[in-house]
Structure 1
Amino acid sequence: MTQLTRRNALALMGATAASPLLAQGSGGTTRINVGALRFTSHSASFIAYERGYFTEAGLDVNFEFFQAAQPMAIAIASGDADYAVTAITGGLISLAQRGATKVVGGALSEEPGIDGQKILASTEAYDAGLTDPSMLDGKTFGITQAGSSFHYMGSKIAAAEGAELSFRPLQNVPAIIGAIRSGQIDAWSIVPHIAKPLDSGGAARIIGNVADYIPDYQVTTVFTSAENAANQRAQTEAFLEAFSRGAADFNAALVDNTTDEAERDALIELIAGYVYPDRSLDEARPSIINGAMRINANAALNRSSVQDQLDWFKSEDLVDAEIDYDTLVDESYVDIIT
């Protein structure tokens, strides 16, 4: 197995990530760092932490927040983070090929009947005629980096529409939001808790749904170091169990609507503290409710979707053509959706 220092991982990926060194916990718990984005889609981890599910599993969790997916893969590879939940990227795949990372479960998914990720047009582009994805030809599309999930989504949408897109790397989500607000890019695709407020506030316009182009898309996965996957099985199982308990609470209250209002309100307040720390609860509530997508029960993983993503990365020469599914994924931890 290749051992990667933080410097080596950054050199390999050409990106940056910052997080403290791993420390041992006390009181019989194991200290771990967990990478996250301040997205509603990461709520399972926040719920598991706040409701003590991680503690009950013997884990002392510290969150490290990022603004893009690729730096999380670097943090896992270098040992600065132990587990993370985010989209599959070219960086994650390349690090898996080098024996540094491993996908061990699934998280956010597109599901028929549940409002999912949206395709946005800038207000300027919309007013100029970009009112439907079929009109994307010749337009600019915002991405964080080449080989990001935004790159994958944009390419799949463009291929289905026979369109040629110009991809503009902007490094992180806040920068893309600024670019679509100002008309510096024409289009983007993003989770509904971000897309819908942009649309309702007049900063951008929703012109389509990602699920129409990528059905059953495994949007995010749970991943860790190859070392943890191979040699820290009890710890990895404990993380997945606690994470899954958080996901079950989230799905019941905000996706399936099978809980009472008190439980729903309690979770909305909990999530708002992480996703919208600078907003009032009343301001945050609509975005959380409208942005709730399914987080897979028991961290089940959609094999077909992951394989499709891997195939796309290889077809675009963004990763080595020789890497296979088993190099990226350890299927021994969770149920597999085929």
Structure 2
Amino acid sequence: MTTTSPIPFTPAAPGSADAGSTGTGPSGRRAAVVAAGLALALAGCGGGADEPSGESGSDNGDGLTAITVGVQPFAELAPLYIAQERGLFEEHGLEVTVQPASQGAELITAMVAGELPIVYSNYFSLLTAADQGLPVRVFRENDRPGVQGLYVMPDSDITDPEDFEGASIAVSGLGNVMEITSRAVLEHHGVDLDSIEFVELAPPTMLQALEQGQVDAAWLVEPFATLGQSEQDVRMVVSAFEGPSQDSPVAGWATTADVAESDPEMLAAFSAAIDEAMAIVHDEPDAVAEIIPTYTEMTPELAASLGPVGYAQGNDLADLSIVNDLLLRYDIISAPVDLDSLIVDVG
């Protein structure tokens, strides 16, 4: 079984190139998203002898198909690590290596380039990539709404959603699930969206940026919400999933059209192992608290106090129409994404 080292929560130096970028108005946001899409396309369409083959997996010599999957350091990934620890992937003929990244865009880039056959990603980024013509596919749900929301420091003047007028909010990417759900929720509460500044930061850096006053609020996901509540006494002002975003799916497992066509058996095996891990998460809550400290720096005690995570027991991707609607509402995509082409049924 492959193991991974804990992912360090090391913030970027303030003012460095990695410390964050901002976007405010629709034109700036759209430009940022298009630029990201162009970067993905360039990464996936390079030529020459070093071009990735796009091969989804290889035999490891023991009769198992070796694959590498890309993830982020989120509590939502507990089922993946449980499947790895308990040998569920091996039972389905796979040897899985986990490759962490601090930003989701890095994972989609690597996937489209043929370097990773499977990645974990939020659906907003995946539908945006599909809108730009990139060959992304979705085949398995992973998580639904949980404790994600807009958090502030305990002494912040922001106490109600309406108080976000003129605020700066940390999100992991412009045009992704964090920015779009923030916009939907704040608009639902009557906030002037043109007054909001969205600051792009990697999730592990958000708590320090919040504490140092670099941003007024941050869109936090587990384990960072619980870490912030424990160490800095941050508080959630409003959930990221209410009003127009209330029933929106959040994130799942993606691949490329080439892999979906050439190796559906591998995707089915991966999905079956995740199905079994989801059942363990449901039946054995302590398993989540035990596994999270193995791939993050969270202590077992803190992991045991995590807020509820919306692990997807089933695999119903029909609600991606909500993501389509929100992306259209905020001018991130120009037309609805064809969900029949995007979604791959692996059985």
TM-score, normalized by the shorter chain, greater than 0.5: yes
User: Structure 1 324/169 Cα, relative in aligned 2: closer, same or farther at 3 Å?
Assistant: farther
Conserved in 1, the CA contact under 8 Å of 2:69 and 2:99?
yes
* Aligned equivalent of 2:290: 269
Deviation (angstroms), 1:91:
5.5
User: Structure 1 284/164 Cα, relative in aligned 2: closer, same or farther at 3 Å?
Assistant: farther
Alignment of 1:227-238 (within 5 A): 227-238=258-269
Matched, 1:121 2:120: no
SS in 1 for 2:311: coil
Matched, 1:326 2:347: no
Deviation (angstroms), 1:316:
2.4
Which consecutive unaligned segments of at least 5 residues does structure 1 have? 13-20, 255-263
Matched, 1:303 2:333: no
* Aligned equivalent of 2:180: 152
* Aligned equivalent of 1:26: 61
Conserved in 2, the CA contact under 8 Å of 1:116 and 1:211?
no
Write the distance in 2 (CA, Å) between the matches of 1:61 and 1:147.
Answer: 30
Matched, 1:90 2:125: yes
Count of equivalent residues: 299
Conserved in 1, the CA contact under 8 Å of 2:144 and 2:248?
yes
- 1:285 is aligned, of 291, 301, 305, to 301
Matched, 1:200 2:215: no
For the aligned residue pairs, the C-alpha RMSD in angstroms reads 2.8
SS in 2 for 1:155: helix
Deviation (angstroms), 1:212:
3.2
Conserved in 2, the CA contact under 8 Å of 1:73 and 1:92?
no
Conserved in 2, the CA contact under 8 Å of 1:97 and 1:328?
no
Identity within the alignment, % = 20
* Aligned equivalent of 1:49: 84
Deviation (angstroms), 1:158:
1.3
Conserved in 1, the CA contact under 8 Å of 2:317 and 2:343?
no
Q: 1:150-207 CA distances to partner (integer Å, 9 max, x unpaired)? A: 1112111111111134233324112322221212111222224321331333353222
Conserved in 1, the CA contact under 8 Å of 2:248 and 2:322?
no
Deviation (angstroms), 1:269:
2.6
Write the distance in 2 (CA, Å) between the matches of 1:317 and 1:191.
Answer: 25
Q: 1:205-244 CA distances to partner (integer Å, 9 max, x unpaired)? A: 2223233343233111111111222331111100000111
Write the distance in 2 (CA, Å) between the matches of 1:27 and 1:89.
Answer: 38
User: Structure 1 171/197 Cα, relative in aligned 2: closer, same or farther at 3 Å?
Assistant: closer
* Aligned equivalent of 1:252: 283
- 2:124 alignment partner AA: T
User: Structure 1 241/167 Cα, relative in aligned 2: closer, same or farther at 3 Å?
Assistant: farther
> Could you state the TM-score of these two structures normalised by the residue count of structure 2?
0.77
User: Structure 1 293/90 Cα, relative in aligned 2: closer, same or farther at 3 Å?
Assistant: closer
SS in 1 for 2:67: strand
Conserved in 2, the CA contact under 8 Å of 1:151 and 1:167?
no
* Aligned equivalent of 1:170: 200
Q: 1:43-74 CA distances to partner (integer Å, 9 max, x unpaired)? A: 11101111100111111111110112222111
User: Structure 1 291/79 Cα, relative in aligned 2: closer, same or farther at 3 Å?
Assistant: farther
SS in 2 for 1:297: coil
- 2:200 alignment partner AA: L
Write the distance in 2 (CA, Å) between the matches of 1:246 and 1:8.
Answer: 36
* Aligned equivalent of 2:111: 76
SS in 1 for 2:144: coil
Write the distance in 2 (CA, Å) between the matches of 1:200 and 1:167.
Answer: 27
Matched, 1:183 2:198: no
> Could you state the TM-score of these two structures normalised by the residue count of structure 1?
0.79
Conserved in 1, the CA contact under 8 Å of 2:172 and 2:178?
yes
- 2:207 alignment partner AA: I
SS in 2 for 1:76: helix
Write the distance in 1 (CA, Å) between the matches of 2:39 and 2:197.
Answer: 31
User: Structure 1 307/199 Cα, relative in aligned 2: closer, same or farther at 3 Å?
Assistant: same
User: Structure 1 211/95 Cα, relative in aligned 2: closer, same or farther at 3 Å?
Assistant: closer
Q: 1:262-291 CA distances to partner (integer Å, 9 max, x unpaired)? A: xx2x55333211122xx5xxx333335423
